[in-house]
Structure 1
Amino acid sequence: MRKLAAALAVAAVMTAMMTACAAGVESGAAAVPPAGAPTAPGGYSATTVRLTGPGYEVDVPQVAGGAEAARNEYNAVMRALAQKWIDQVDGTTTLSPGAGQVTYLGTRAISGLFVVSVYGEGAAHPNNAYGTHVIDARTGREITLRDLFIDVRQGLSVLADQAAVEVPRTRAGDQYSKSGIEATEYNYRLWLATPGGMEIHFGEISSHAAGDIVITVPWSKLDSVLNPGLRDIVSG
């Protein structure tokens, strides 16, 4: 199964590369990190690929170095997130690089945030769309909410309680959609593993002027609901 998963990941990378090259131009290949880019434990470096074509210009977080299976899996998924939006460009929608894209390189986990600015014809303003992906840096295995928590419902309940404390401290203040932080997998699907805690991207759950709301829940607040051993992976 691991060999099959690795083969599928490589195939996905090749498919994404062929699609991008057929539709537009690729620059800043992830195989070569920028000069002076820091190397994380495990030999990884963060870099970016820019995909351009008619109606779109998209930056895709990538990694170089490290374990081949993990690198291929991460890069393929991040490219697939970009391709999903590129496929929707139809003459009435344009894409441009979104601000805030990041790759967190931990000692045992890699997390990536993909951001694209989407502008539809006739819209008052563009909106950001997001995608996240978290993997075990040693194996390339994805870490999901169901992997993270002993009981996902209990874990989401704790996250919702923490969000009720943290969101009012953001630009949203008390003026935000309470349904946007309810204990559902959908509301907490856009998360990243960072040394400081679980970074959660809610998007626009308040006014457009308040922007996209982001909080970080310290791992210490989640200790009681995390699967044994997971904190060591995601917090490193």
Structure 2
Amino acid sequence: MGHWVVRYQRLAGSGPIIDRINEVIDAEARGQVSTYDASASKTTDWTLDIDGVLGFRPVTVSALFTGLYDTDLPNMPFHTVGTRVFDTRSGILISWDNLFVNKQEGLNRLSEATREILPQTYAPPSRTGVWQFGSEIAPVDANYRYWIPTDGGIELHFADWQFGRGQSWITVPWERVRDLIAPEFQAII
């Protein structure tokens, strides 16, 4: 009952590193479809429309997948997001485990920065008082799984419903995490 399309970029050429990166990008594109196709509506028509773009930084290439799953049911459409970040020198995936010299301290910094930056980027609730954050800001992998490196810093993408409806993202400046970046990845800055 559904129709899906995923348009995405891959690295040009071939070779061990390029092929390794493209294999993971292809797997992410298939994974985007598998995630929504398996749980899609069985009673109403649905669509899944996703775009994947590459971003390039010193020593990295990143893939950002964003899109919409939609059907004629309440609380739709649902925004999708997925990311992958690679070391262009080796083709390995870069994660918090190898980007930060201390993963937990890195997640703590991302959590602290999110607590400060998010209310400045997106309007706080209309009621007065301080924004209340719960588990959605906890310094755990699941809350910070979607990211890409940019000129300005680590661009964090949040899943639909993590902080309300729609797609949201913030950029944590490199200065906030520079001292935690592993020596082999300092060039990412």
Per the normalisation by structure 2, the TM-score is 0.81
1:26-45 alignment, distance < 5 Å:
none
Which one of the candidate residues 143, 167, 170 is aligned to 1:187?
A: 143
Tell me the number of residue pairs that the alignment of Structure 1 and Structure 2 aligns: 176
1:89-100 alignment, distance < 5 Å:
89=37, 92=41, 93-98=46-51
Which one of the candidate residues 114, 118, 127 is aligned to 1:163?
A: 114
Map of 2:19 onto structure 1: 72
Map of 1:143 onto structure 2: 94
Residue 164 (structure 2) pairs with residue 207 (structure 1) = yes
**Letter in structure 2 aligned against 1:167:** L
- Provide structure 1 residue ranges, at least 5 long, that are not aligned to the other structure: 1-53
In structure 2, what is the Cα distance between the partners aligned to 1:191 and 1:77? 16
Which one of the candidate residues 174, 182, 187 is aligned to 1:227?
A: 182
Give the direction of change, closer, same or farther, for the CA distance of 1:201–1:138 in structure 2 (3 Å limit). same
Map of 1:63 onto structure 2: 11
**Letter in structure 2 aligned against 1:216:** T
C-alpha contact (below 8 Å) 1:176/1:207 kept by paired residues: no
C-alpha contact (below 8 Å) 2:155/2:172 kept by paired residues: yes
- The offset of 1:120, in angstroms, is 4.2
Give the direction of change, closer, same or farther, for the CA distance of 1:64–1:161 in structure 2 (3 Å limit). same
Structure 2 SS opposite 1:89: helix
**What are the Cα deviations for residues 64-95 of structure 1, in whole angstroms up to 9, with x where unaligned?**
14x62232222222221221233353673421
- Provide structure 2 residue ranges, at least 5 long, that are not aligned to the other structure: 126-130
- The offset of 1:224, in angstroms, is 2.1
Report the RMSD for the aligned CA atoms in angstroms. Answer: 2.3
In structure 2, what is the Cα distance between the partners aligned to 1:57 and 1:193? 26
**Letter in structure 1 aligned against 2:154:** M
Q: Percent identity among equivalent residues?
A: 27
- The offset of 1:172, in angstroms, is 4.4
- The offset of 1:114, in angstroms, is 1.0
In structure 2, what is the Cα distance between the partners aligned to 1:169 and 1:70? 39
- The offset of 1:177, in angstroms, is 4.6
Which structure would you say has the larger RCO, counting Cα contacts within 8 Å and 6 or more residues apart? 2
Structure 1 SS opposite 2:144: coil
Structure 1 SS opposite 2:19: helix
Q: Which one is further off, 79-88 or 55-64?
A: 79-88
**What are the Cα deviations for residues 164-217 of structure 1, in whole angstroms up to 9, with x where unaligned?**
111111124355753222111111111111222111111333332xx3221111
Q: Which one is further off, 169-178 or 133-142?
A: 169-178
